[in-house]
Amino acid sequence: MRIPISALIGLVLTCIFLFVAIFAQWIAPYPITDVSGGQWEGPSAQFWLGTDTIGRDILSRLIYGAQITIFVALASSVLAFSLGAFLGFLAAVKGGWIDQVLSRLVDLVMAVPSLIVALVVLSVLPLNLTVLILVMGVLDSTRVFRLSRAVAVDITVMDFVEAARLRGEKGSWIIFREILPNALSPLVAEFGLRFIFAVLFISTLSFLGLGVQPPLADWGGMVKENKDGLIYGKSAALLPAAAIAALAISVNLVADWILTRTSSLKGGRGG
Amino acid sequence: MHPILKLLVQRIALGLLLLLAVSAVIFLGVEALPGDTAQAILGQQATPEALANLRERMGLNEPPLTRYFQWLGGILTGDLGTALSNGADIAQSIGQRLGNTLFLAGCAAAISVPLAILLGLIAARHAGKWPDKVISGITLTTISLPEFVAAYFVIFIFTQLIPIFQPVAMVFPGMSFWAKLNAIALPVIVLVLVVLAHMMRMTRAAILNVMQSAYIETAELKGLSPMTVIWKHALPNAIAPVVSVVMLNMAYLVVGVVVVEVVFGYNALGQYLVDHVTKRDLPVVQAVGLIFAAVYIFLNMLADIIGILANPRLRHPK
Amino acid sequence: MADPLLQIKGLVIEATSYPPGEAPKQVTLVHGVNLTLERGRVLGLIGESGAGKSTIGLSAMAYGRGGVRLTGGTIHLNGREIRLADAKALRALRGREVTYVSQSAAAGFNPAKQITEQVIESSLSHGLMTKPEAEARAVALFRKLGLPNPETIGKRYPHQVSGGQLQRCMTAMALCPRPDLVIFDEPTTALDVTTQIDVLAAIKEAIRDTKVAALYITHDLAVVAQVADDIMVLRHGRMVELGETGQIIHRPTQDYTRALVSVRSLEHVEKAPAPPILQVQNLTARYRGTTFDVLKNVSVDLPVGQTLAVVGESGSGKSTLARAITGLLPPSAGRIVFAGRQLSADLAGRTKDDLREIQMIYQMADTAMNPRQTVGTIIGRPLEFYFGLKGEARDKRVQELLDQIEMGKGFAGRYPAELSGGQKQRVCIARALAANPRLIICDEVTSALDPLVADGILKLLLNLQAEAGVAYLFITHDLATVRAIADKIAVMFKGAVVRYGQKTDVLTPPFDDYTDLLLSSVPEMEQGWLEQVIAHRKMESAGN
């Protein structure tokens, strides 16, 4: 199997981000809330990437920010995925009123942009990580629902599924042995895209002041904290912004590669 | 009735139904969440008497359904109620801000739509060759940027590296049109950047899809020139998907506007919304949320309607 | 002597293939083919899939479809070399000297434009005639091709006319600019058998009247024998044999050609009447949410260990009958009696034995097998499910079944994507056999296969029937297949059985009108057959 260079870069970067996120406590030179320097100091031997608006080490906050950003995004995309894929498969295999009710409900949620729904809901709910993960996960599960339902419907009408039904196989065999193995690769690629979406979503909410609350900070929150420095030529806000972009691009490269692989498998041999 | 008319009526009815359902969710669904408007206004220290008093005054003791219909009736007659935070009339506050938002979004659309279609055409024309690869690579990058990240990079570039613009976008009544345009240059650049990538990628896909049809081969085998093939055979079939792509991205633009307005302190609907979410001012959030939802639903409906109108099978039934 | 119209020498055609997960590689589709076509002659190009016949056909207008490249040899058209001609020169000859009729006119016509506009387009763009002249010529061609309402049909949009009519319109489009050469690329393959004959006759007449030369590409030797003066037999991108039509079909010199000629000539002697294993009684069925019966009061019997062929065109209800028998579509009236017991109408009400004893084989072996399961799992699952076979016992039985379908060792570990079309269908047969069924429903099991491969499958099915005594309900649109395998026949038309009985009785006159139409529409490998058939028709073709 050949991995194109772009996907390889994406894969390596994604792994580095994951590593940093998991071992943040051991890697970060300073604790997350430690005010150890002056305001917006430039890079130095002491602070490799300088200090932020109240003098905290930017590198340390970036490393902890990776942990929070990736944790929240991962948790909400896992939630979106389990919920969406389960209900999507259910709707596809059962059909009938279950399918109708679920599909119309999803239509309704998707009729309004997720950010607007999130803003409306967050104006009432308390702002903590659990609520954020739940809100983002549920909102995003609608997209996973649509995709997994469509994929499963495509597979359900195949003759080999009919053959299994004619053999007398139970629902669990049909879902787990006939449908799921064939639905896996589009779903894996979709997981990458959902994860990116969650990263962008939580960053945006934090930037608007409605996501992760201080003194904790994810990357979006760090952009917010340091944005005023920009007009004085202090580029501290650009570092977390670049981190968001780098993570999203890396995962995108991997997902893109998985997607093309899936379509070429589906399309059979070329030429 | 002509079948196409029937489809259009159905689609419009569906849009209205969806809007109604969304309004119910925004009002009743939010009511059902834990949280108390009276408490939100008076804060944690409020006495029980004051709370009861306020609830009575705001009609919060009435059944939710009754209040929903009152709210809905108000909206239909242009009465959006008053803000909890400062008692201002919501309809009035929204009025000019909506104008500002539409101005910003309109300018971004006016630049991004032709540009996206042009780039999409170029990429599709050279599919798989270097112009396509360059365009696709750049757009894959910009797709990965959230609006505010793109915004700060743009700010940094145009206020620090090449200082030609202001980092804030102040507009006020009485400003000349050109002054306004100059003021919103940066937010427009950001919006264009973000929307362009999506729109261009989808345009490219839509055109490629048409170009791979068997009837394009038929046209080529007639010895027609490439321009004639594109102009007479591809275009009539590509218009519908491309217009549909444009509409969908306009809907996307509507959301992008919210964040960009906050970044640039642009006094318009998006910033107004975010402001009042932070203040937990539910009536404002509900009203503005409904407006954004309505625009989004309307644009999606428009995309479908154009798709229906452009379909020859529907236009010329058997 | 004047130059021939088309002269191809040493043609080599290559393409890049992109196997998933591997590096792209170059494949050669055509290896040095020579071909000469004189003015006004019709050359048939025949071969199975992968023979390169369409690719060679399109090379006559120096066109490579989808990244196919004409890399070697010369192509002379009207005395000019065109393989290396520039784009401008190619545009000047395409649609003027050479035109093209594709297999699917439905896809080949632009859905957004009226038919006439597309038919006359090349005549106008090449400046061959004025618009009124071109329109008049289009109407004349529509009339010649037997289209209804020739004056007005061109004002319609492609989706507003039937498939058979659209195929004639595309022929008109090809003939309109008075080309020297028309390439017909399987123009009747996608049509129903009774429609195919009408379109074929129209094409033949148009070729004869306009005296145009043609390359006629098809996989069906009997079809090409009706229209071609000469036939070139192709295989794997190489020429096998070239000769006059009469010589090719009566005195082929190559083994491969002989095999193609004798294909579909399997004859099967019908067995003596026996007690039924399956009785379908007064079956009526419709799909949910519709108000139209797709099966109307159908009654047929299938004797133990014999074959009942259910014959009909698309829309006749033959596949619906299969769905009703399997329990996938519960009928609204009537009963199904199997081995003396009445079967539950729907799938959920059937016992495991009911399910085991009735097995099904599908038309598309590709989609009938889970691409993520190995052949061993696919065949082994029924063994495990019905008989509880596990481990070594199961593997042993799987190998026995593989031997039975003549595939031998080493296949159990492979995935369906690694098999050829014929092998896939064999695995599906093995999966059905694994259940020890008493009845196998075969739904168009040979129609997606090349003729020689299909013949192999039919022979295998007959052998298995002789060994295992299994009965077949054989659904097909192809009467040659019916002759090869059936003991009894039911002819279906618009949801009802119009003729039913022992094979010999059904195929012996006097016929009802529909059976007559259907039987007479099967192309025979005989020159001049087409004219006889058209002259003796009693009924318009069903799909036209």
- CA-nearest residue to B315 within chain C is C112
Same domain, C365 and C441: yes
Smallest CA-to-CA distance from C169 within C83, C245, C87, C109 is with C109
Angstrom distance (rounded) from CA C243 to CA C231: 6
Smallest CA-to-CA distance from C264 within C306, C221, C228, C231 is with C221
Same domain, C281 and C413: yes
Question: pLDDT at position C410, please?
Answer: 85
Per-residue pLDDT tens digits for C333-342: 999 999 999 9
Q: Which of A166-170, A233-237, A240-244, C211-215 has the lowest mean pLDDT?
A: A233-237
Model confidence at B122: pLDDT above 90: no
Question: pLDDT at position B314, please?
Answer: 81
CATH code for position C90: 3.40.50.300
Per-residue pLDDT tens digits for C82-140: 999 999 999 999 999 999 999 888 899 999 899 999 999 999 999 999 999 999 999 99
Model confidence at C288: pLDDT above 50: yes
Model confidence at C209: pLDDT above 70: yes
- The alpha-helical segments, DSSP class H, found in chain A are 5-22, 24-27, 58-94, 96-110, 114-122, 129-156, 159-167, 171-173, 180-207, 219-226, 238-267
Per-residue pLDDT tens digits for A82-100: 999 989 988 988 888 999 9
Residue B262 lies in a domain: yes
Q: How many whole angstroms from its chain centre is CA C479? A: 13
Angstrom distance (rounded) from CA A166 to CA C376: 19
**Residue A259 at interface with chain B, using a CB cutoff of 8 Å:** no
Residue C514 lies in a domain: no
With contacts defined as CB-CB under 8 Å, which chain C residues touch B222? 94-95, 99, 121-122, 125
- Which one of C237, C262, C287 terminates a domain? C262
Residue C530 lies in a domain: no
Same domain, C363 and C483: yes
Query: Which tops the pLDDT comparison, B163 or A169?
Result: A169
Same domain, C13 and C157: yes
User: What is the torsional sign of CA A159, A160, A164, A170?
Assistant: negative
Residue C520 lies in a domain: no
The verdict on a CB contact (< 8 Å) between B218 and C159 is no
Residue B304 lies in a domain: no
Same domain, C108 and C42: yes
The verdict on a CB contact (< 8 Å) between A159 and C15 is no
Same domain, C297 and C252: no
Of B33, B145, B159, the CB nearest to A245: B145
Average pLDDT, chain B: 84
The verdict on a CB contact (< 8 Å) between A123 and B262 is no
Same domain, C88 and C212: yes
- Which one of C214, C235, C262 terminates a domain? C262
- CA-nearest residue to B277 within chain A is A123
pTM across the whole model: 0.81
Chains in contact with C, counting 3 or more C-beta pairs less than 8 Å apart as contact: A, B
Angstrom distance (rounded) from CA B39 to CA B22: 26
Confidence of residue A269 (pLDDT cuts 50, 70, 90): very low
Angstrom distance (rounded) from CA B36 to CA B34: 7
Model confidence at C422: pLDDT above 70: yes
Angstrom distance (rounded) from CA B162 to CA A190: 39
The verdict on a CB contact (< 8 Å) between B218 and C102 is yes
How far apart are the CA of A267 and the nearest CA of chain B, in angstroms?
15
With contacts defined as CB-CB under 8 Å, which chain C residues touch A5? none
**Residue B141 at interface with chain A, using a CB cutoff of 8 Å:** yes
Model confidence at A266: pLDDT above 50: no
Per-residue pLDDT tens digits for C180-204: 999 999 998 888 888 888 889 989 9
Same domain, C102 and C239: yes
How far apart are the CA of B212 and the nearest CA of chain C, in angstroms?
9
Residue B128 lies in a domain: yes
Q: Which of C12-26, C52-66, C155-169, C376-390 has the lowest mean pLDDT?
A: C12-26
The verdict on a CB contact (< 8 Å) between B255 and A196 is no
How far apart are the CA of A19 and the nearest CA of chain B, in angstroms?
21
Residue B167 half-sphere exposure toward CB, CA atoms < 13 A: 21
- Total domains present in chain B: 1
Strands C471-476 and C98-101 turn out to be: unpaired
Rg (CA), chain C: 25
Smallest CA-to-CA distance from A122 within A182, A180, A206 is with A206
Can you give the residue range of the structural domain that contains C229?
6-262
With contacts defined as CB-CB under 8 Å, which chain C residues touch B236? 110, 112-113
Per-residue pLDDT tens digits for C446-468: 888 888 889 899 999 999 999 98
Model confidence at C482: pLDDT above 60: yes
Chains in contact with A, counting 3 or more C-beta pairs less than 8 Å apart as contact: B, C
Can you give the residue range of the structural domain that contains B111?
97-278
Residue B166 lies in a domain: yes
Model confidence at C500: pLDDT above 90: yes
Per-residue pLDDT tens digits for A169-206: 988 888 888 988 888 877 887 888 889 889 999 999 99
Same domain, C339 and C244: no
The verdict on a CB contact (< 8 Å) between C19 and A165 is no
CATH code for position B226: 1.10.3720.10
Tell me the residue length of chain C. Answer: 544
Model confidence at C542: pLDDT above 70: no
Residue C434 lies in a domain: yes
How far apart are the CA of C270 and the nearest CA of chain A, in angstroms?
30
Question: pLDDT at position A264, please?
Answer: 43
**Residue A5 at interface with chain C, using a CB cutoff of 8 Å:** no
Chosen for mutation from A167, A175, A179 (greatest number of chain C CBs closer than 10 Å) is A167
Residue B127 lies in a domain: yes
How far apart are the CA of C98 and the nearest CA of chain B, in angstroms?
9
Chosen for mutation from A2, A155, A160, A266 (greatest number of chain C CBs closer than 10 Å) is A160
Same domain, C176 and C307: no
- CA-nearest residue to B145 within chain A is A245
Residue C359 lies in a domain: yes
Per-residue pLDDT tens digits for B186-243: 899 999 988 888 888 888 888 888 888 899 999 999 999 888 888 889 888 888 888 8
Residue B156 lies in a domain: yes
Q: At what angle do helices B282-310 and B90-125 cross, to 10 degrees?
A: 40
Q: Sheet harboring C471-476: ordered strands across?
A: C358-361, C439-443, C471-476, C307-311, C488-493, C496-502
Of C68, C370, C435, the CB nearest to A178: C370
Q: Which residues of B16-51 are buried (b: 16+ CB within 10 A; e: fewer)?
A: eebbeebbebbbeebbeeeeebbebbbeeeeeeeeb
- CA-nearest residue to A203 within chain B is B146
Of A108, A113, A245, the CB nearest to B144: A245
Residue B111 lies in a domain: yes
Per-residue pLDDT tens digits for A37-71: 777 777 777 777 777 777 788 888 889 989 999 99
Smallest CA-to-CA distance from B11 within B309, B254, B311 is with B309
- Total domains present in chain C: 2
How far apart are the CA of B312 and the nearest CA of chain C, in angstroms?
5
**Residue B303 at interface with chain A, using a CB cutoff of 8 Å:** no
Angstrom distance (rounded) from CA C236 to CA C31: 9
Please answer whether residues C343 and C354 qualify as being in contact, where contact means their C-beta atoms are separated by less than 8 angstroms.
yes
Of A160, A166, A271, the CB nearest to C367: A160
Residue B65: CB atoms within 10 Å: 12
Angstrom distance (rounded) from CA C38 to CA B203: 47
Confidence of residue C22 (pLDDT cuts 50, 70, 90): low
Residue B102 lies in a domain: yes
Residue C518 lies in a domain: no
Same domain, C281 and C210: no
State the count of interchain CB pairs (< 8 A) between A and B: 134
Of B155, B254, B282, the CB nearest to A113: B254
Model confidence at C489: pLDDT above 90: yes
The verdict on a CB contact (< 8 Å) between B221 and C104 is no
Per-residue pLDDT tens digits for A102-111: 999 998 888 8
Model confidence at C161: pLDDT above 70: yes
Task: Tell the burial category of C271 from Cβ atoms under 10 Å away from its Cβ (0-12, 13-18, 19+).
Answer: middle
Angstrom distance (rounded) from CA A133 to CA B205: 33
Residue C345 lies in a domain: yes
Same domain, C281 and C368: yes
How far apart are the CA of B215 and the nearest CA of chain C, in angstroms?
4
The verdict on a CB contact (< 8 Å) between C328 and A166 is yes
For B299-309, what is the mean pLDDT?
86
Rg (CA), chain B: 24
The verdict on a CB contact (< 8 Å) between A233 and B289 is no
Model confidence at B302: pLDDT above 70: yes
Residue C527 lies in a domain: no
Question: pLDDT at position A38, please?
Answer: 74
